[in-house]
Structure 1
Amino acid sequence: MAGPFAAFVEIPHGDFAWTRGTPGTFRSSSTAERDFCATCGTPLSYRKLNGSVIELLTGAFDRPDRVIPTYQTGIESKLAWAMNLHNLPGKTTTESSGSAEAGSIVSHQHPDHNT
């Protein structure tokens, strides 16, 4: 069983290459590895050891809104409360942490594009 949910995009190994540095790797099970940014720890991908695709976490993309999920997996362990998230009250980052704090946050994560 994993966490409540994560969104991935599958890309064939032959169509994928890391463009900046080499990620850290963690052997998360006897059949898979997970990659993460070796500098900041951001989770990046999941790979079956003998699989034909790499599964990239959509949250690692600069524009995750362009990567739209097309199916669900692992539904046997879906948490009942996850079905109702869209009905819960919501807050913006500013509402949640306050205007002053939200305005002072500096991201140390690197964008996908060259800088």
Structure 2
Amino acid sequence: MKIAFIAHDKEKDDIVDFVKRYKDVFKDHEIFATGTTGKLISDMTGIKVHRFLSGPMGGDQQIGSKVAQGEMDMVIFLRDPLTAQPHEPDISALLRICDVHCVPLATNLGSAEIFAKALRR
């Protein structure tokens, strides 16, 4: 599967810890991520990550493009729901395109855990 990871700044530690916990699952899949998130995941887990631009610089839109083209199977996007994001329109567009194309989207650790456990099976 092709899996994209995105995390807002306040969620970056959580996404790295999450990928570490499920490294045995994710190492067998093709991993994509926005810039900084991808670097952190790669550096901290050793998993190869195809990196896009950072989210505010267009990375969210690049992942959305892959979703629209049928080239992404799952998106795990740990969002910070309490902080306004300057690129909120890009975020909304990504969420919408996942819905339009029926691509599973986790936006918090609870749903991400369910996805990872399903992949493990």
TM-score by length of structure 2 reads: 0.23
Which protein, 1 or 2, shows the higher relative CO under an 8 Å CA cutoff with sep ≥ 6?
2
More strand by share: 1
Higher normalized helix content (fraction of residues): 2
